[in-house]
Amino acid sequence: MEITEFRRAGHDLVDWMADYLNDVERLPVTPEVRPGDIRRSLPVSPPRTGEPAEQLMNDFGKLILPGMTHWGHPGFFAYFPSNASPPSMLAEMLTAAMGAQCMSWQTSPAATELEQVTMEWLRQMLGLPEGFTGVIQDTSSTATLVALLTARERATGFSAAIHGLQGPGQPLTVYASRERHSSVDKAVRLAGYGIESLRLIDLDDAYAMRPEALEAAITADVAQGMRPAAVVATTGTTGSTAIDPLRAIGEICRRHGVWLHVDASYAGSAAILPEKRWMIDGVEHADSFVFNPHKWLLVNFDCSAYFVRDVEALLRTFSASPEYLRTAHDAEVVNFRDWGIQLGRRFRALKLWWVIKSYGVEGLQAILRQHCEWAQAVAGWVSVDDRFELLAPVPLALVCFRLRPRAGEDLAAVNERNRELLARVNATRQVYLSHTVLGGRYTIRMAIGARATEARHVEEAWALIAASA
Ligand SMILES: *Cc1c(COP(=O)(O)O)cnc(C)c1O
């Protein structure tokens, strides 16, 4: 593509993007396609000769767009949001234009230093204690794996283990609540603990970890000769945004010398609201903390903020400096390639910087606060409609509800009725909600957080649900 063609197509593309952002509401939020439809519409072999830019855009509009789920649609209430924003989109274009690979300070000094600055800004915005240092990871799943790898290295004495001085050692154990995210199980397996080392801790009535049960599990394991290595506490579980009690959990971890990793993937963003800081009370006991600006802080996927207290432990786990990567500045600078799994790194700090600059902390606070208020409104409508009931507290912007059981109706039947209701609502393609199962009960989840969502969309969504019921 010649630069003249790029310029023309680029201007057209930005116009298209602005129209899309204005009009996405008129598109169905989910596509009406069956598995294989899109693939069958595409050539099986690559084109032998190049095609003009118009052709690329035409094919995108004709073949791809109709097969997209629109996460930025104001009727998107499924899963957790992944709420992009205009300044973030522009920054992603700049990042793409420069195409820098930000593995070391030397390979793009501004990328490294901006990452340090924006992560410190985030630390202040969330009210995380001083002494936490941040690094951007691609996703929370990766950050949790990084945490469990570091915890394992620390528990086995770092280089002692590398040089085989440790012998077979004690079996290590990891703890998380029954409502933990599946990425914890994945990380336990990938980090080499073995899935049998993962202890699932019982829940209280609000689906949060019971600290007494954690203490009992750790004590029992120690008595059996195990070495408890890590606890993963969840601030805002994926099922219902349950908040594990960090202070009590943290005190147990301190007492037993166990690494505490806090998975606040979704809820962490809400800590920019002073009135939600109670969620992370006790976080000063944590060794690591992750949250996803790519979920609820208007930063395009992907951008996961990982904070760690003992940077030395992280570096001892991940640093590797072969000759071809050494630079003259290594002693004075941070090389983020040593702070995680991958070598190559995208320039993710730029979009984070632009989002924070463009909205300001107060602008971001106002948006999140509104989402939480609308969720309270939905919770109120659920409560006053006697066909429905809430299934979990609503501390943030996720509402978990279902149709109440009828007299004499068994669990399977009421679950089936709720499954049908969700299918009917989603079949309109005006809104998209998802589900989970809480305590055996089929649960409809309505997560408010798309940037384009306004009060009227929330009202219309509830009206649709109520009418469908
Ligand atoms: C979304 C989520 C994750 C996974 O996040 P990724 O960035 O997609 O890996 C992990 N834990 C919780 C609690 C989540 O809500």
CB of residue 306 inside a 6 A radius of ligand 1: no
223 or 330, greater pLDDT: 223
Q: Which atom of ligand 1 is nearest to the CA of 236?
A: 13
Cβ distance 399 to 375 under 8 Å? yes
Q: Which of 186, 292, 296, 348 to mutate to test the pocket of ligand 1 (most atoms within 8 A of CB)?
A: 292
Residue with tokens 């290595």: 229
Q: Which pLDDT does position 325 carry in this prediction? A: 76
pLDDT tens, 243-299? 999 999 999 999 999 999 999 999 999 999 999 999 999 999 999 999 999 999 999
Which domains are assigned to the chain? 1-30+69-85+359-469 (3.90.1150.10), 101-346 (3.40.640.10)
CB of residue 263 inside a 6 A radius of ligand 1: yes
Q: Which atom of ligand 1 is nearest to the CA of 138?
A: 7
CB of residue 82 inside a 6 A radius of ligand 1: no
Q: Which atom of ligand 1 is nearest to the CA of 139?
A: 7
Q: How far is the CA of 304 from the centre of ligand 1 (A)?
A: 9
Instruction: Give me the mean pLDDT over the 115-126 stretch.
Output: 98
Q: Which residues does residue 243 pair with via DSSP β-bridges, in sequence order? A: 235
Tell me the average pLDDT of the chain: 96
Residue nearest to atom 15 of ligand 1 (CA): 238
- The closest alpha carbon to 175, from 259, 291, 283, 268, belongs to 259
- The closest alpha carbon to 296, from 271, 264, 267, belongs to 267
pLDDT tens, 410-441? 999 999 999 999 999 999 999 999 999 999 99
Q: How far is the CA of 436 from the centre of ligand 1 (A)?
A: 15
Q: How far is the CA of 84 from the centre of ligand 1 (A)?
A: 16
Residue nearest to atom 14 of ligand 1 (CA): 265
Q: Which of 266, 295, 398, 434 to mutate to test the pocket of ligand 1 (most atoms within 8 A of CB)?
A: 266
pLDDT tens, 394-418? 999 999 999 999 999 999 999 999 9
Q: How far is the CA of 106 from the centre of ligand 1 (A)?
A: 31
pLDDT tens, 15-38? 999 999 999 999 999 999 999 999
The DSSP call for residue 299 is P
With bands split at pLDDT 50, 70 and 90, how would you rate the model's confidence at 324?
Answer: confident
pLDDT tens, 93-105? 999 999 999 999 9
CB of residue 80 inside a 6 A radius of ligand 1: yes
With bands split at pLDDT 50, 70 and 90, how would you rate the model's confidence at 328?
Answer: confident
Q: Which atom of ligand 1 is nearest to the CA of 144?
A: 10
With bands split at pLDDT 50, 70 and 90, how would you rate the model's confidence at 457?
Answer: very high
Q: Which pLDDT does position 326 carry in this prediction? A: 79
pLDDT tens, 144-168? 999 999 999 999 987 554 555 555 5
Residues 6+ apart with CB under 8 A from 238: 80, 179, 181, 265, 266, 436
With bands split at pLDDT 50, 70 and 90, how would you rate the model's confidence at 234?
Answer: very high
Q: Which pLDDT does position 167 carry in this prediction? A: 52
Cβ distance 78 to 435 under 8 Å? no
Residue nearest to atom 1 of ligand 1 (CA): 265
Residue nearest to atom 5 of ligand 1 (CA): 140
State the burial class of residue 434 (Cβ atoms within 10 Å of its Cβ: 0-12, 13-18, 19+). middle
Q: How far is the CA of 397 from the centre of ligand 1 (A)?
A: 16
Q: Quote the CA–CA distance of 203 and 233 in Å, as a whole number.
A: 12
Q: Which pLDDT does position 157 carry in this prediction? A: 84
Q: Which pLDDT does position 1 carry in this prediction? A: 94
Q: How far is the CA of 141 from the centre of ligand 1 (A)?
A: 6
Q: Which atom of ligand 1 is nearest to the CA of 180?
A: 13
Q: Among residues of the chain, what percentage have pLDDT more than 70?
A: 98
CB of residue 181 inside a 6 A radius of ligand 1: yes
CB of residue 140 inside a 6 A radius of ligand 1: yes
CB-facing half-sphere around the CA of 357: CA atoms within 13 A: 13
Q: Which pLDDT does position 330 carry in this prediction? A: 79
Q: Which pLDDT does position 405 carry in this prediction? A: 97
CB of residue 374 inside a 6 A radius of ligand 1: no
Lowest-pLDDT choice from 146-155, 168-177, 352-361, 382-391: 168-177
Residue nearest to atom 12 of ligand 1 (CA): 265
DSSP state string for 398-459: EEEEEEPPPTT--HHHHHHHHHHHHHHHHHTSS-B-EEEEETTEEEEEEE---TT--HHHHH
Q: Quote the CA–CA distance of 207 and 366 in Å, as a whole number.
A: 28
Q: Which pLDDT does position 163 carry in this prediction? A: 53
Q: Which of 136, 263, 301, 341 to mutate to test the pocket of ligand 1 (most atoms within 8 A of CB)?
A: 263
284: left (phi over 0), alpha (psi -120 to 50) or beta: alpha
CB of residue 235 inside a 6 A radius of ligand 1: no
CB of residue 177 inside a 6 A radius of ligand 1: no
Q: Which of 139, 177, 185, 265 to mutate to test the pocket of ligand 1 (most atoms within 8 A of CB)?
A: 265
Q: Which atom of ligand 1 is nearest to the CA of 234?
A: 13
